Amino acid sequence: MSILQSIILAIIEGLTEFLPVSSTGHMIITSSLMGIEKNEFTKLFEVAIQLGAILSVVVLYHKKFFDIKRVTFYIKLLIAVIPALLLGKLFSDKIDALLESPTTVAVSLIFGGIVLLFIDNYFTSGAISDEKDISYQNAFIIGFWQCIAMIPGVSRSGASIIGGMQQQLNRKLAAEFSFFLAVPTMAAATGYKLLKVYKGHPEILRDKHQLLLLGIGNIIAFIVALLAIRFFIGFLQKYGFRLFGWYRIAVGIIVLILLQLHIIS
């Protein structure tokens, strides 16, 4: 992977992490189009730079994240992240295998897009508009919804936002809680991935060029994500999910065509 390729992937990550279009799926497709070889480092890169994007949430919502008086806020996040920690540990190897499959991404994009076309009509309004009113049970169930995104192409933000709406959160709060939940989730995923690499392929973490790529990727993803979050919240409140649904379907179909033409593999 070159520096230019790492920058392109980081921009895509920053733009798509908080949109219901699957950042991981877009990175897998882009990697295939650029001919980037799938190896342990590229798998690490695709997970690790998500943490850079997620840290933009901490900056934008720093008042909530660093208000030690709001203990229940932290408890809800911890409860919500438990399903991902358990299932991520149990299915780690299978998830890694799916990260190599553009076909899985394409099918997931299309199926998820169809869901998004109708989701606004199904969840018309939410009774919960304040984070303080989210119960521990609500948080735990939203955490299970998030786990669907372990399948590349599903979208972590999309799954957890829909989970929030299913638990009667309004669109804005569902999106914000999804952003908050991403912080411990991706911190844990990145930490676990780094540990696996350290144990199995420690040479990666000693390679200065690869460490440089990780650093550049995280910084670029962080900066781009700062802009993307503000856009998404406003767009979601005004227009809902339908446009994202059509986008996912179109991208999924294009990827299937490219696979059939052997342009990507």
214-254 pLDDT, tens digit per residue, is 999 999 999 999 888 878 878 877 888 899 999 999 999 99
Q: How confident is the model at residue 28 (pLDDT cuts 50, 70, 90)?
A: confident
Q: For residues 28 and 46, what is the distance between their CA atoms, to the nearest angstrom?
A: 8
Give the pLDDT confidence score for residue 39 in this predicted structure: 84
225 and 10 Cβ atoms separated by less than 8 Å: no
Give the pLDDT confidence score for residue 188 in this predicted structure: 85
Give the pLDDT confidence score for residue 163 in this predicted structure: 93
Q: Is residue 114's pLDDT more than 70?
A: yes
Q: For residues 265 and 263, what is the distance between their CA atoms, to the nearest angstrom?
A: 7
| Closest C-alpha to 24, from 150, 183, 111, 152 | 152
Residue position matching structure tokens 């994240």: 65
Per DSSP, what are the bridge partners of residue 169? 128
162 and 177 Cβ atoms separated by less than 8 Å: no
Q: What is the mean pLDDT of the chain?
A: 87
* Per-residue pLDDT reduced to its tens digit, 176-199: 899 899 888 888 888 888 888 888
